[in-house]
Amino acid sequence: MQQLCLKNRDMINIEIKSWCRITNTKVLLNGEELEIPLRENTSWLTNIYKSQKIDYPKYFKMDTLSKAGFLASEIIMRSLNIDPLEPKPKWSIISMNSSSSLETDKNYQQTIQDTNNYFPSPSVFVYTLANIVTGEIAIRNKIMGETLFFVHKDFSPHHLYQYSIDALSNDSIENLLCGWVEDGDNNIDVLMFALKKNTKVNNFNIENIKTIY
């Protein structure tokens, strides 16, 4: 297989401003583990939501994929002291995963499987699109650049890097939230970066993505 590599051209510096990793047991912000007290009868993601004192009622309507992506973006944006209400025309969002919206697809299928117990609901159906997670993050943060969703069999640092470079090559875009957001088989696997271009620091590269993941 051909290795994806950039053609010779003017390279732009890209800096990782902040990153967040969420798995089934841990939340890392720039490498530091956040303390998440566990409440009874509360899901892992909602424990994260509560421990971070996030106040965004729309969270409770989201499916697991959107919740996971939303929480990572929220932790990142707070660490950068960025006001969610400030319009962000120069920010884009790119997400990738393996199972698209399969967990919600299965839930939705249960509502239509049986003709005698048929109750399709628009509020479930809308989350059978994986890119809704990018929409949720865009709405929360007034991000008005590009929002794209890609599917790969496995986490692919090469492709994450490539899509990020492509997104930031756009003259009108300066910042990017990008990452892997997966909830397949109820395994939460999120790695999200906030990137900024034309910085002095240039530390966003495939090796760094691999190390952090």
Partner 1 sequence: MIYRLSDNIISTLGFNSKDNYSQIKNGNSGLKLYENRFNLPEPFFASLIDEEEINDRFSSLPKTTNEKYTKLEKLSILSCSDAINLSNINPSSNDVIFVFSTTKGNVELLEENKEFEKERVYLWKSAQVIKNYFHNPNQPIVVTNACISGVAAQLTAFNLLNNHNFKYAIVVGAEVLSKFIISGFQSFKALSMQMCKPFDRDRDGLNLGEGASSIVYKLADNDEVLPKERIEFISGTVRNDANHISGPSRTGEGLFNAISETIKGYDTSKLSFINAHATSTPYNDSMESFAIERGGINNIPVNSLKPYLGHTLGAAGILETIISFHSLIDNTIIKTLNHQNYGVEKSIIVNVSNKESKKPAFIKLISGFGGSNAAIMFEKSGYDKY
Q: Provide the binding-site residues for partner 1, judged by CB under 8 A.
A: 1-2, 4-7, 9, 87, 89, 93, 98-100, 102, 105-106, 108-109, 112-113, 115, 118, 120-122, 125-126, 128-132, 134-136, 138-139, 141-153, 156, 159, 162, 165-166, 169, 172
Q: Which is nearer to partner 1, 42 or 89 (CB)?
A: 89
Q: β-strand 189-197 against 175-182: which pairing, if any? A: antiparallel
Q: How far is the CB of 81 from partner 1 (least distance, A)?
A: 20
CB atoms within 10 A of CB 12: 12
Q: How far is the CB of 138 from partner 1 (least distance, A)?
A: 4
Q: How far is the CB of 168 from partner 1 (least distance, A)?
A: 11
Residues 6+ positions from 151 with CB-CB distance below 8 Å: 96, 97, 98, 100, 130
Q: Which is nearer to partner 1, 20 or 62 (CB)?
A: 62
Cα(44)–Cα(2) distance, integer angstroms:
39
Q: Which is nearer to partner 1, 44 or 127 (CB)?
A: 127
Cα(125)–Cα(127) distance, integer angstroms:
5
Cα(135)–Cα(69) distance, integer angstroms:
10
Q: How far is the CB of 6 from partner 1 (least distance, A)?
A: 6
Report residue 191 CA to chain centroid gap.
7
Q: Which is nearer to partner 1, 125 or 213 (CB)?
A: 125
